Structure 1
Amino acid sequence: MARISGRSMVRLRAGFLVLAALSYLSFVAGRWTAALFSLGFLWAAAIGILVALLLALAASRLDRVAYLIIAAIVTLFGAFTAYDFARGPIDFSQGTATVLAFIAALLLAAAFWDFANLLREFRAWAASRAEAPR
């Protein structure tokens, strides 16, 4: 039976952060694409799910420099989207929109950092399993 360590709860919370960031990015991409082509809600959901799968697959195969560049671009895009939404449809003040965009950028950056750590831990675990005698 596997023993649950003290880090497992921290890892579980960090996993939720990665899931929240992936959901946010998929929602934005699905909604934007569906609105661009005048598609309905179900198409937006399908596009969002496809984007989530493609993002996870692509991010798991990148080297470190490419991953950091893409993470920075996506984080900036997410912050801009949050700022634009807060200023446009919601009509928040510039200061409030900036704070919300900063929070979105922090959450996305933390999620990318954690996803990189999860991949590193998974690869180390898989390598140790491959080298272990049977």
Structure 2
Amino acid sequence: MGQASTTSILRLRAGFLVLAALAFVSVSAGRWTATLFSLGWGWAALIGVVIALLVALIVTRLDRLAYFGIAAIITLFGAYTAYDFARGPVDWSQGWAFALALVPGVLLALAFWDFRHIVREVRLWLNSRS
């Protein structure tokens, strides 16, 4: 009894992780850019949406090595941002700051991993439709 290979276009786990990572990156970048140019929250939201669209467009077109290189850089930047925030304004100990930095680091790494797989599955699904 052979098992039919089907590709599901809906993957709730990957969708939530990708959405959380994209929101983290776009909100951070939009807020930072708007603050840099003394713009309001509306501009920050618009910049965040544009950045989210650009990130999604660019990431889907990368080869494997470039994708994982960029994913590693963004993951490390996200973890460092959390660590720096915990050490600076919050004034947590080094151990607690490192533990906090693991949360966005692990979530971003998992999101990038799942995003790569969901893009592959969507391509397989689209190719099977033709």
TM-score by length of 2: 0.87
Between the aligned partners of 1:49 and 1:97, the Cα distance in structure 2 is: 29
Query: 2:11 aligns to what?
Result: 11
Query: 2:107 aligns to what?
Result: 107
Query: SS at the partner of 1:89?
Result: coil
Query: 2:85 aligns to what?
Result: 85
Equivalent residues in 2 for 1:1-134, closer than 5 Å:
11-130=11-130
Task: Give the drift of 1:103.
Answer: 1.4
Runs of 4+ in 1 over 6 A off after TM superposition: none
Between the aligned partners of 1:97 and 1:57, the Cα distance in structure 2 is: 33
Query: SS at the partner of 1:16?
Result: helix
Task: Give the drift of 1:92.
Answer: 2.1
Task: Give the drift of 1:52.
Answer: 0.6
**What one-letter code is carried by the residue in structure 2 that aligns with 1:78?**
G
Of structures 1 and 2, the one scoring higher in RCO (CA 8 A, sep 6+) is 2
User: Aligned pairs, how many?
Assistant: 123
Query: SS at the partner of 2:11?
Result: helix
Task: Give the drift of 1:88.
Answer: 1.9
Between the aligned partners of 1:30 and 1:87, the Cα distance in structure 2 is: 23
Structure 2 stretches lacking a partner, 5+ long: 1-7
TM-score by length of 1: 0.85
* Residues 67-125 of structure 1 deviation map (CA, whole Å, 9 limit, x = unaligned): 01110111111111111122222222221111111111100000000000001101111
Structure 1 stretches lacking a partner, 5+ long: 1-7
Between the aligned partners of 1:24 and 1:80, the Cα distance in structure 2 is: 13
